[in-house]
Structure 1
Amino acid sequence: MSYADVKVPKIEALFERDGYLRSYENEIKRRYKCFSEKRTQIEKAGGLRRFCESYKEYGLHVRKDGTLVGAEWAPGAKGLYLRGEFNDWNNTSHPYKNVGFGKWELRVPPKADGSPVVKHLDKVKVVVQTQDNNFVDRNSPWAQYVLEDSSSPVYNHHIYIPEKKYQFKHSKPRKSTGLRIYEAHVGIASPEYKVATYENFRINVLPHIKKQGYNAIQLMAIMEHAYYACFGYQVTSFFAASSRYGTPCELKELIDTAHELGIVVLLDVVHSHACKNVLDGLNQFDGTNSGFFHDGGRGEHSLWDSRLFDYNQIEVLRFLMSNLYYYLDEFQFDGFRFDGVTSMFYHTHGIGHGFSGDYNEYFGMNVDTESLIYLMLANAMTHELFPGSVTIAEDVSGMPALCRPVDEGGTGFDYRLAMAIPDMWIKILKEQKDEDWNIGSIVHTLSNRRWGEGTIAYAESHDQALVGDKTLAFWLMDAEMYTNMSILSPLTPIIDRGIALHKLIRLITHSMAGEGWLNFIGNEFGHPEWLDFPRAGNNNSFHHARRQFNLIDDNLLRYQFLNNWDRALNELDEKYKYLEANPAYVSWKHEEDKVVAYERAGLLFVINFHGQKSFPDYRVGVDVAGKYKIVLNSDEAKFQGHCRVDPNVEAFTEPHGYANRRNSLLVYVPSRTALVFAKID
């Protein structure tokens, strides 16, 4: 079928950026037509904003006059009831009314004195009468507060109507370019052996993030998940901010305080799948195996052992898009990082798929149109109703136009994560000797991204901090981190090499590999050991489920030097804005010397990865003539360097071209050292 008549408003802009996509114009238009039809369906249902404010109608709510109202979508249920502390757990005394199309409504008048029948923190359950007349307890999918039962690991819905709701005092910062993201998990954000709190994060961690020069935070594991060790990726209650860290009001205060500091706050969203839990999850809410999910094999993820949403259902779109709106509006989040996008895009979920880069992979029968259309709708809503919001996609496949606007025929994200980069660094450290590093291959991986599509670069992922793997610092220094990180002990070759390469890896990734930067909590100072949540396999220990910020406060430990370097990178970008600039121009990548030179935003970066060789009078090409001065030097003492470079030295260009640049200059670049120059005259 031809879709030639379908109008995609700015499709020519898409083809101007990537001419290969013109061969797939028909498919791009087909997708846009599907998007437009769903958008029209939403508009007919009351308009986009009202559709996305459905969380104000669904679930349970106490009106100002004390009336308790509720609504649920349970198409497979024979009957629906509400029970709880308010009615002595009577199964059937408070029935919902079936109003058609799978929707059920409840209205409970207030008490004689005008007070609601439920009070703050009352426990309630939705009782589902199944088609075979069983009565089963469920949490409302729209529950906004759930608490773990003291007698079992099940989380139960509690009414959350505090006497004093939190009132935001500060407006959202508008920072959508040059993002420097601090990826954080509230529960591990303390040196103490316990689940840390929103309050701890607000008081103790936010000042550190601000001091380090980050302008964004990405919060993980906020949507409630009954199993703490799942890292937040097996969500049980989508509208409930995790109660293990504190109350919704305390999370709001955290976000408001971040805004006061000028820091945007992004939420790690898991809409790619849902936990299989029945008693406290979304699974089998209406007593059937479908409802929110596909039935059969299409409804289950074989690797994640979780349920997969049926994105074609209008009520599923209502639920998920309302979920996004809820966090943007009620909690004032500034955007999202969407987890597991690759799994959503493809019927194979990316399992066993290497993705060669052949465009036929992105436009063939393996693409799941329904999931893709949901993401287009989610991005369109986020950007239209909350201008300035940021969306980031976790996609390993390289889907073209992922980060182009929907009206161009793209998926609408602002950024994609550069997922190949952390894999590259770990592979190099695991498998190669220093002298075998392929500089050309490293530069290719760092610079290989789609033109005009924003990329968030990172040197190591949170997955690489988990038990069974190691962080970059641990791969580099391993056991010596236990014995030789004190400045009172000799600087051993392993620690010297580890600190030096940690700095170089982070600099080249930070400055070359994207339009944004991401660091996982603790990695900025080379956090020792791994991350492992309390579970049966480790005797429920918190030993590895914490971040030891105390290490950087100890002036006798070398962690302070890596922390100083991390801060210096962010300050360098804040001053020169290279993350907002065009991609770096790499003029030099020498395999034998292990030297890389490149320019970005008027800065000249020279990095020597060689373990033994230092180079005096090393000629480097530079485009703009003038006098240059060092503005960042990894060999300084405050970064655990050897002070081999005079920080006040000035370099003057010579008017003869070199390495395809119009001018050149001579620099002294010691082994395992990075120098950054800025033109001063």
Structure 2
Amino acid sequence: MAMPSPNVSTFQEEVSPGRVLTMDADGTGLSVIDPWLEPFNDALRERYATFEKSDKQIEDTLGYEEFTKGYEYYGFNVQKDNSVMYREWAPNAVTASLVGDFNNWDVNAHVMTRDKYGVFEILVDPTADGKVAIPHGSKIKITMTMPRTGERIYRLPAWINYVTQDLNVSATYDAIFWNPESHYVFKNARPKRPESIRVYEAHVGISSPEPRCATYKEFTKNILPRIAYDGYNTIQLMAVMEHAYYASFGYQVTSFFAPSSRYGTPEDLKELIDTAHGLGITVLLDLVHSHACKNVADGLNMFDGSDHCYFHAGPKGRHELWDSRLFNYGNFEVMRFLMSNLRYWMDVFQFDGFRFDGVTSMLYKHHGIGYGFSGGYHEYFGDNVDDEGVMYIQIANNFLHKKYPDVVTIAEDVSGMPGSCRPVREGGLGFDYRLSMAIPDMWIKMLKEQSDDDWNMGNVVHILTNRRYLEKTIGYCESHDQALVGDKTLAFWLMDKEMYTNMSDLTPLTPIIDRGIALHKLIRMVTHGLGGEGYLNFEGNEFGHPEWLDFPRAGNDSSFQYARRQWNVLDDKLLRYKYLNEWDRAMQMTEERFGWLHSPQGYVSRKNEGDKIIVFERANVLFIFNFHPTQSFTDYRVGVDQAGKYKIVLNSDDKQFLGHERVDNSTEFFTTPGDWDSRPNWLQVYIPSRTCLLLAKA
């Protein structure tokens, strides 16, 4: 253990039940947990000092309460007397005016005043009869003149909370003054933060079987009940922040405070979230603070005529691979914009947390482009690292967890930076979870490149369990990334074209469908049980959604054919998709009962390459997997920690999951004392080929 530094205060942290460590309050707590980080203590101190400097600046100027409520200062805010205060930060502009339908787009009608910081403002008085002078639903813009040239530019307000797109007139968005007579009133309290997080990754637009864009209201009515039935306790909503290009999957954001109007109104989104809360479901926003769309006409790019208003100037402000703009996290106003964005979605829309997209790009100057992380600790420090990006993530997570004790934040990061999921006061980034992105890559690679006989049980276990000590991860077999055009869903990799012809109960069970359904169940169960402290599924994949995902674009003649979810195949009782859906539900319900996701990592007692057997224990559940294509085993001996009588609590070979009913679920298993696979007891089971059994003490 590292010795405390002189003249540095210390604190005690309970890092795991019953294990309390003393740490210096200088950002080096991580090296107390992981001594391999001790050579980098100076870098950790410097990183933490950068966080503290920014933290102090916020506290000493506006304070977090005002700093994070920028949306009540900037943008449009209706006052008690029905006047409208509008403010915008545009330091490069010389003059600015508010224009719109309400003043016939007259640049001289509502001229704004400028302060020394480049903030423009105007108070629009109410009408003579005391009403808001800007009608609800009217189009508005800010127009500015440029230094030297006097050029006049028009922009959508940066803090606008509703924008719409009229494809008959233009592909660009219009800013809308959103001030309905009555706002949606939330009825349900936020649910408590789940102990075991089971995430349903969903996209509102694709949530209809019809070839069109679905709505918030349809999702609320049709999809939320499915998610609740399946036993997921968390929804991760994609593509909510407004984006001009639908096929970007929501990752090219144009208006950061506007929920996408494709799916309906802001009030419709509030109803969706409130209804989910009523079902006990936590709702996370897929947040894009890693970059912004480069659009000028309806984005933040060149907002005040300069290329460095919200972003870094020059090449530093451009992401070569994503063709987008990169935020200047070191700028006070940019920080205020982003931090206020977090609070806006939490307070105004009652989201419960965020999945931060593109964290790798935020953490490193190379943005992960063409960089293969080997796992060497030197990769996480020094010139590789974007100190301001790290600082912003720490500031954001620190604020969110102080302000909202039940908040959930998830990092999408391929690098595995040490401390990503440890508290900021230890020197960590402060996330609750990191997505285990290597797991789906493993499954796809195995299905593409290996025969079933060549599957390596040791490698499967290694990838599923390879995570940093005391840092929580979310395991998953496939997310939206694996389903995009150019790839295929796991079900389609397994069964391919036979899904079109042999998924009916009225047709014989072919070897390909039999194998596909069996392995689909096993892949999901072993990932669920061993792959992390959370589990994620992408919408539709729970029932083996076929094909791939492709949004309407020029390359497919703007077709919605693959930008939808075919719920019809699940609802058709003659088709075999229902078996996979019931298996997925059974996994979630069994986890709810035993809670293995929030229990310590599973103890793997067997990974036998010849037998293709994996055995592990977690949360007092004994997991037994037989991945062998043909070989079933009678009286197969497995080790177990606790002595006693065991019974089957989940069996993938059950008829209700399209199994072959080779195992009698009423069987009782009695342990025998004696060392086996380094466990003090053993029992014997019949484990058929391509089957998994979950046993628990009776």
Does TM, normalized by the shorter one, top 0.5? Answer: yes
Residue aligning to 2:241: 223
Q: 1:85 aligns with which of 101, 108, 117?
A: 101
Match of 1:312 in 2: 330
Q: Any idea what the Cα deviations from partners look like across 1:32-60, whole Å, max 9, x if unmatched?
A: 11111111111122210111011011011
Distance 1:183 1:291 in 2: 33
Match runs of 1:500-539 below 5 Å: 500-539=518-557
Residue 22 of structure 1, CA deviation: 2.1
Residue in structure 2 matching 1:133, options 147, 150, 153: 150
Distance, in Å, in 2 between the alignment partners of 1:466 and 1:37 is 42
Rate the CA distance shift 1:7–1:140 in 2: closer, same or farther, 3 A: farther
CA distance in 1, matches of 2:11, 2:462: 34
Aligned positions of 1:264-663 closer than 5 A: 264-663=282-681
What amino acid does structure 2 have at the position aligned with 1:621?
G
- Aligned partners of 2:453 and 2:528: how far apart in 1? 23
What's the CA shift for 1:176? 4.0
Tell me the alpha carbon deviations over residues 128-167 of structure 1, each in whole angstroms, 9 at most, x when there is no partner. Answer: 2122211111011100000113401111110000111101
Deviation at 1:30, TM superposition (A): 1.1
For the 8 Å contact 1:8–1:407, the answer to whether it is kept is: no
2:269 alignment counterpart? 251
In the alignment, is the contact (CA less than 8 A) between 2:238 and 2:250 conserved in 1?
yes
Q: Which residue of 1 aligns with 2:36?
A: 20
Q: 1:47 aligns with which of 63, 67, 86?
A: 63
* Residue type of the alignment partner of 2:139: K
The answer as to 2:95 corresponding to 1:95 is no
Q: In 1, distance between residues paired with 2:546 and 2:10?
A: 51
Superposition map of 1:179-258 within 5 A? 179-258=197-276
Corresponding letter in the other structure for 2:612: K
Q: Is the 8 A contact 1:186 1:198 kept in 2?
A: yes
1:7–1:29 contact (8 Å) kept in structure 2? no
Please state whether the residue corresponding to 1:303 is helix, strand or coil: coil
Aligned to 2:19: none
Equivalent residues of 1:8, 1:409 under 8 A apart: no
- Separation in 1, partners of 2:518, 2:456: 18
Per the alignment, residue 161 of structure 1 pairs with 179
Identity %: 58
Partner AA of 2:123 in structure 1: R
Matched residue type, 1:465: A
* Equivalent residue letter for 1:579: L
Does the CA contact (< 8 Å) of 1:8 and 1:29 recur in 2? no
Query: Secondary structure, in 3 states, of the residue corresponding to 2:253?
Result: coil
Distance 1:8 1:120, change over 3 A: farther
Question: Secondary structure of 2:272's match?
Answer: helix
What's the CA shift for 1:205? Answer: 0.4
User: Residue 145 of structure 1 aligns with which residue?
Assistant: 162
Name the SS of the counterpart of 1:250 in structure 2: helix
Tell me which of 83, 98, 102 is aligned to 1:67: 83
CA distance in structure 2 between the aligned counterparts of 1:389 and 1:75, rounded to whole angstroms:
34
CA deviation vs aligned residue, 1:412-440 (integer Å, no higher than 9, x gap) = 00000000000010001000011001110
Q: d(CA) in 2 for partners of 1:193 and 1:568?
A: 30
Paired residue for 1:107, among 123, 137, 140?
Answer: 123
Shift of 1:23: 2.0
CA contact (8 A) 1:6 1:29 kept: no
> Are 1:171 and 2:189 counterparts?
yes
After TM superposition, give the deviation of residue 28 of structure 1 in Å.
1.2
Q: Distance in 2 between matches of 1:292 and 1:228?
A: 23
Query: For 1:176 and 1:53, how far apart are their aligned partners in 2?
Result: 27
CA distance in 1, matches of 2:146, 2:546: 51
Structure 2 Cα separation of the partners of residues 526 and 654 of structure 1: 40
Partner in structure 2 of residue 56 of structure 1: 72
Superposed counterparts of 1:668-679, under 5 Å: 668-679=686-697
Q: CA deviation at 1:198?
A: 0.4
Segments ≥4 residues shifted beyond 6 Å: none
- Measure the CA separation in 2 of the matches of 1:438 and 1:521: 29
Structure 2 unaligned regions, length at least 5: 13-22
Deviation digits for residues 435-481 of structure 1 (CA, Å, limit 9, x no counterpart): 00111011000000011111111001211111110010010000001
- Give the letter aligned to residue 255 of structure 1: I
> For 1:395, what is the secondary structure of its paired residue?
coil
1:4, 1:26 within 8 Å by CA — same for their partners in 2?
no
C-alpha deviation, 1:586, in angstroms: 0.2
Q: Is the 8 A contact 1:299 1:307 kept in 2?
A: yes
* CA drift at 1:331: 0.4
Farther off after superposition, 366-375 or 68-77: 68-77
Q: Using a 3 Å threshold, how does the CA distance of structure 1 residues 581 and 569 change in structure 2: closer, same or farther?
A: same
Q: Which stretch of the first structure deviates more once superposed, 235-244 or 357-366?
A: 357-366
C-alpha separation in 1, matches of 2:32 and 2:519:
40
* Alignment partners' CA distance in 1, 2:157 and 2:108: 16
CA contact under 8 A between 1:176 and 1:389: conserved in structure 2? Answer: no
Secondary structure class of the residue paired with 2:136: coil
Q: What's the RMSD between the two structures over aligned residues?
A: 1.3
TM-score scaled to structure 1, two decimals?
Answer: 0.98
Q: Secondary structure at the match of 1:86?
A: helix
- Matches of 1:346 and 1:659, distance apart in 2: 43
| Secondary structure in 2 matching 1:292 | coil
Match of 1:30 in 2: 46
Which 10-residue stretch deviates more, 107-116 or 280-289?
107-116
Partner Cα separation in structure 2 for residue 154 and residue 639 of structure 1: 48
Distance 1:45 1:166 in 2: 34
TM-score (norm 2): 0.96
State the 1:91 CA deviation. 2.0
Tell me which amino acid in the other structure corresponds to 1:148. Answer: Q
Q: How far does residue 29 in structure 1 lie from its aligned partner after superposition?
A: 1.3
Q: State the one-letter code of the partner of 1:163.
A: E
Cα gap change, 1:91/1:538 in structure 2, threshold over 3 Å: closer, same or farther?
same
User: Is the 1:457–1:516 Cα contact (8 Å) retained in structure 2?
Assistant: yes
CA contact 2:201–2:479 (8 Å) conserved in 1? no
- Residues 49 and 385, structure 1, Cα contact 8 Å, conserved in 2: no
The answer to whether the 8 Å contact 2:194/2:233 transfers is no
Task: Report how many residues are paired.
Answer: 679
- What amino acid sits opposite 2:111 in the alignment? P
**Secondary structure in structure 2 of the residue aligned to 1:61:** strand
Cα displacement (A) at 1:8: 7.2
Task: State whether residues 177 and 515 of structure 1, in contact with CA within 8 Å, keep that contact through their aligned partners in structure 2.
Answer: no
Higher mean alpha-carbon deviation, 271-280 vs 45-54, is at 45-54
Encode CA deviations 1:563-593: one digit per residue, 9 max, x unaligned. Answer: 0010000001000000010000000000011
